Homo-oligomer: A and B are copies of this chain.
Amino acid sequence: MHIAGDLLIGGEVVRGANGFIKAVNPANGETLEPAFGGATLDQLEQACALAWQAFDGYRETSLEARAAFLERIAQNILELGDELIERCISESGLPRARIEGERGRTVGQLRMFAGVVRNGDFLEARIDPAQPERKPLPRVDLRLRNVAVGPVAVFGASNFPLAFSVAGGDTASALAAGCPVIVKAHSAHPGTSALVGRAVQMAVRDCAMPEGTFSLLFDSGRQIGQGLVSDHRIKAVGFTGSRGGGTALMKLAAARKEPIPVYAEMSSINPVLLFSHALAQRADAIGKAFAASLTMGAGQFCTNPGLVLAVDGPGLDAFIASARTALSELPAATMLTPGIHKAYDSAVQHFAEHAEVTTVARGKSGEQYQGQAALFSTTAAAFRKHLELQEEIFGASSLVVRCPNQEAMLGIVEALEGQLTATLHIDDADHADARRLLPALERRVGRILVNGFGTGVEVGHAMVHGGPYPATADGRSTSVGSMAIMRFLRPVSYQDMPDALLPDALKTNNPLGLTRRLDGTLKVAG
């Protein structure tokens, strides 16, 4: 498919008339053609108007039609074939196996949400039947279902050019909920965005969905992203990116005449807690696995293990020695953009020069935009004192905190900001120690792992990729997994409404065959 550099506004392919952006291949620093025209405010207005027009029709499409639409998007993405893979590799610097895997995840997510839509449980249908004989007052008939919140703005993420970008998790869950989507493409991978955008646009046409169900905009500055979040027709925002970017969107959304929810996934250092018996038994293996997780994808994962906590001693020394050896053999890896590489180098440099931080290992050095892994250590007291040591370094850098005892580890956990994940490395004999830390971890993180690493986020029904602020803007939600659909829904109840006017989900004869809650008790369909 020819990549012309155009916006997709509903069914139209339109040249953006406000400056342009071009991608850079971070593997060699070359600028990639074509130029992608940035949207004007008028073009943003058109996309928002179309999304609003599409909303009532799209949200009431049948569950089957909406599921088939999501599956069609998946199919259309696959049919882009190798052109998508190659463009994505050249725009991201990520290796082919990763990009192919990410395409699999993207397609898998869309299909999972198709299943979630067909199942219909997300509607949370509830019926409290009338009780005309109740004393002192008769009881009314009340029925409840979830409805889509409205058009959603999705910001593509730099680090998942497929799985959290144009047709990624935010888009898939919003479309599944019944919300039209306007994507602001990430400037690092406009060609990938254009290809996937066309796949979605064609699925809209193929499945006869309302035209404004999907639009894709490029932004040559910040005005389109800001304008989207501020537009009165946009009712929620999905974002994965930096803490600065996410909090700016939160402020914009809170300042609107009608404030709206922002689901921003922003910042996390994902503490890894090593316990004494596990270290005594297998410090070497944990060190190797840690180094592999730290450097996976050049460390550019939200769930990258950026902090290691353990009681100081020979076990921790053995872990560090193992990680040092493993890292020293690992090649540098191309980072997503020259800007991300520069920020990484600068942050690592700051750590290296910090008076209370020791550099304990580096990966191999590399070429122009390749990130060199780094492992640092510090003391518990220094970590508590220097809050800047809690800040995320986006890339393959991590900090080991040597704790004098378990109480100091707990103290550090209690002082941590909200996190996406925490990981425990334990043996059976560590259970008692681990149990004492679990309450503090539950209060601070979205996912607690045992004897694994947070990188590699399974897309399932029991996944929480979320966590208290600043891991995300809204710790009551997840951006990965089937529960992500709940972000884009709100409940509406219907009182004494005649069956003829009720939505199908709530009609008495249950034409959709839904599982519904009757007087508070779930009645499973079928």
Is residue A297 contacting chain B, with contact meaning CB distance below 8 A?
Answer: no
What sequence of 0s and 1s flags, for each residue 482-526 of chain A, a beta carbon within 8 Å of any chain B beta carbon? 110000011111111110110000000000000101011110100
- Contacting A520 at CB < 8 Å: which of B119, B250, B475, B498? B119
B140 touches A458 (CB 8 A): yes
Q: Given known contacts A434-B501, A451-B496, A501-B450, is B461 in contact with A128 (CB within 8 Å)?
A: yes
Cβ contacts under 8 Å, A449 to chain B = 494-497
B500 touches A462 (CB 8 A): no
CA gap between A251 and B255 in the complex, in Å: 9
Is residue A290 contacting chain B, with contact meaning CB distance below 8 A?
Answer: no
CA gap between A121 and B520 in the complex, in Å: 10
CA gap between A472 and B517 in the complex, in Å: 25
A475 touches B456 (CB 8 A): no
The residue of chain B having its C-beta at the shortest distance from the C-beta of A496 within the complex is B450
A142 touches B491 (CB 8 A): no
A149 to chain B, nearest CB (A): 7
- Contacting A254 at CB < 8 Å: which of B56, B60, B250, B494? B250
Cβ contacts under 8 Å, A447 to chain B = 492-495
CA gap between A91 and B178 in the complex, in Å: 48
What sequence of 0s and 1s flags, for each residue 230-244 of chain A, a beta carbon within 8 Å of any chain B beta carbon? 000000000000000
CA gap between A137 and B475 in the complex, in Å: 29
The listed residue with most B CB atoms (<10 A of its CB), out of A55, A128, A462, A468, is: A462
Q: Given known contacts A143-B462, A520-B115, A522-B515, is B492 in contact with A442 (CB within 8 Å)?
A: yes
- Contacting A450 at CB < 8 Å: which of B251, B442, B468, B495? B495
Is residue A162 contacting chain B, with contact meaning CB distance below 8 A?
Answer: no
A418 touches B258 (CB 8 A): yes
A275 to chain B, nearest CB (A): 12
CA gap between A60 and B442 in the complex, in Å: 12
B517 touches A461 (CB 8 A): yes
A443 touches B144 (CB 8 A): no
B431 touches A500 (CB 8 A): yes
The listed residue with most B CB atoms (<10 A of its CB), out of A127, A445, A450, is: A450
B261 touches A476 (CB 8 A): yes
Query: 8 Å CB contacts to B: which residues of A161-217?
Result: none
B489 touches A464 (CB 8 A): no
A445 touches B492 (CB 8 A): yes
Is residue A435 contacting chain B, with contact meaning CB distance below 8 A?
Answer: yes
Is residue A446 contacting chain B, with contact meaning CB distance below 8 A?
Answer: yes
A263 to chain B, nearest CB (A): 11
A interface size (C-beta, 8 A): 81
- Contacting A448 at CB < 8 Å: which of B458, B490, B494? B494
CA gap between A522 and B127 in the complex, in Å: 18
Cβ contacts under 8 Å, A258 to chain B = 417-418, 468-470
What sequence of 0s and 1s flags, for each residue 122-153 of chain A, a beta carbon within 8 Å of any chain B beta carbon? 00001110000000010110111001011000
Cβ contacts under 8 Å, A412 to chain B = none
Is residue A35 contacting chain B, with contact meaning CB distance below 8 A?
Answer: no
A185 to chain B, nearest CB (A): 27
Q: Given known contacts A56-B439, A431-B501, is B492 in contact with A462 (CB within 8 Å)?
A: no
Cβ contacts under 8 Å, A520 to chain B = 115-116, 119, 460-461, 482
CA gap between A94 and B501 in the complex, in Å: 37
- Contacting A147 at CB < 8 Å: which of B140, B442, B501, B519? B442
A493 touches B524 (CB 8 A): no
Cβ contacts under 8 Å, A431 to chain B = 498, 500-501
CA gap between A522 and B516 in the complex, in Å: 11
B121 touches A446 (CB 8 A): no
B491 touches A464 (CB 8 A): yes
Q: Given known contacts A492-B442, A519-B461, is B497 in contact with A448 (CB within 8 Å)?
A: yes
The listed residue with most B CB atoms (<10 A of its CB), out of A56, A137, A458, A474, is: A458
A389 to chain B, nearest CB (A): 17
A230 to chain B, nearest CB (A): 15
In the complex, given contacts A142-B460, A434-B501, what are 8 additional A-B residue pairs having Cβ atoms less than 8 angstroms apart?
Answer: A128-B463, A137-B456, A144-B463, A258-B468, A435-B501, A447-B494, A466-B490, A466-B491
**A–B complex contacts, Cβ < 8 Å, 27 sampled:** A116-B520, A126-B461, A127-B462, A128-B458, A137-B456, A139-B458, A149-B476, A250-B259, A251-B254, A258-B470, A261-B474, A428-B498, A438-B501, A442-B492, A445-B492, A446-B492, A447-B493, A448-B492, A448-B497, A458-B495, A460-B519, A461-B517, A461-B520, A462-B493, A475-B490, A476-B489, A522-B524
